[in-house]
Structure 1
Amino acid sequence: MKQIDINCDLGEGFGLYTIGQDEELLSYISSANIACGFHAGDPHIMNKTVAFAKQKGVSVGAHPGFYDLHGFGRRPFHLSADEIIDIMLYQLGALKAFCTKHEVPLVHVKPHGALYNIAAKEPYVAKAIVSAVKQFDPTLIVYGLANSELIQACVEENIPYAIEAFIDRTYQDDGSLTPRQLEGSTLHSIDECIQQALSIVLKQKVTTITGNSIPLEVDTLCIHGDHQGSVDLARALREELATHNVIVRSLEVSI
């Protein structure tokens, strides 16, 4: 039987502001990427989100990004390799503290937003991220795009990795995500997202924004928790995968 991990970015509120429906989403996903305080999140939210994930039996991962609360981590910053290593270690350490408190393992790392996108194409950024993970805990699984520099850096450093696909984002012919500033970068209907997910999981293919079909074999699917309707999408995805006998399972036990 086929199996797939479903991950979601959670804990992305800050102070008095709440983003997403984290508790509901945790009923439908297998891995949680928890914001570490730089693009979103704060100590209270991190603590609460780790506790909720433990209650639901969902694997915990770190979701570090650029220090950019105003831009939600989606603005590019030019940092040196040493600076990237430092911000990674800082955020990994913060989330690990709450994992220790709640006696759950920290399983994976998924860079957020602009840091994720830059690491897909810029070798020195990808290598800095992997270096930080290797220094912190070389057993952590790094999530990244197929054929990206981040995955290549993991291969070179013998760090476990998971290839990720986005069910609510469109793809370009080279396998990269369509930039958010371009029209058509996001799929808006649940049906469109489900059909893209099924194509990826069952056929290992995705249709690009130009209509071409390209190969895409992945380990994990991402649902964005900050979107309206994300709970309905997650529920529909689980139901549809079940009808095709696809098991949803964390990568904690499969990589």
Structure 2
Amino acid sequence: MYTIPIWAHIVPDFTDKKAFSAYQKALTDDVTPLSLDTENGTAEFEGKHGHYAASLEDCPCGARPKPCKHMYRIAMELGIMPGKPASNTSKVIARQATHEAGVTSGSVRRTMQGLDHDALSLLDTVACHCLSNGKMGGSPILVLRTPAVAQLVNLGLAEETIGDYLHCGLSIGKEGIRDALQRAGLDAPEKMFRPNARWAKIHEHLQSLYESNPDAVNSAFALLDGTAVTYDKANVIRREADHILYPRDDYTQPSLF
């Protein structure tokens, strides 16, 4: 029988950026466990970087500090922490199959060739964000909710997260955020989006709007996980996207076979 750890009695909030982010990610279907042992408080996960056997005491995923999203998810699944996490077993099983088969540069290129221009441009933005955050990934990136988002998520080229508008990176300018809020019928004070306005205030405003009306905010924006694209894959994406989006006469497309 497992012992309930001290951290499981505390629901993280915005005062602890990393813990709050891990808790929010634990609610997504991306962290659906492959299996759960309710007797011993352990679970198996298929993460973006491999297979993890986690418990309430530890997880080998590499995230620091602990508890990580996998440990929070176990606590939610056991009912010792609040939360109604989304589940998608088929998604994580498909990821497991991908890991077992291996992801090659050729497979990434083949997938990218099926993207339209908007989706490819968005994927390039996500890859740039991943590379700028280093091999361990980082904060999510805020993008406009467009069909390109769904295309990338459905193909497994990006993963959506929720909730952390305070610490997200941005792919949209102030006017773009203001216009998206207005289209969604949300409060967008003009003075907040002036050229000299502080970005911190915009982040706080987005977070406040999300807490009061999450559906409306989610209809306007998407938060793409900063670790959704692995560092190595991001390098391939950036290289190939550059040639497709900005073609040069001296470039020869590598063979896919």
TM-score, normalising length: structure 2: 0.26
Specify the structure having the higher radius of gyration (Cα). Answer: 2
User: Which of structures 1 and 2 has the larger relative contact order (alpha carbons within 8 angstroms, sep 6+)?
Assistant: 1
**Structure with greater helix percent:** 2
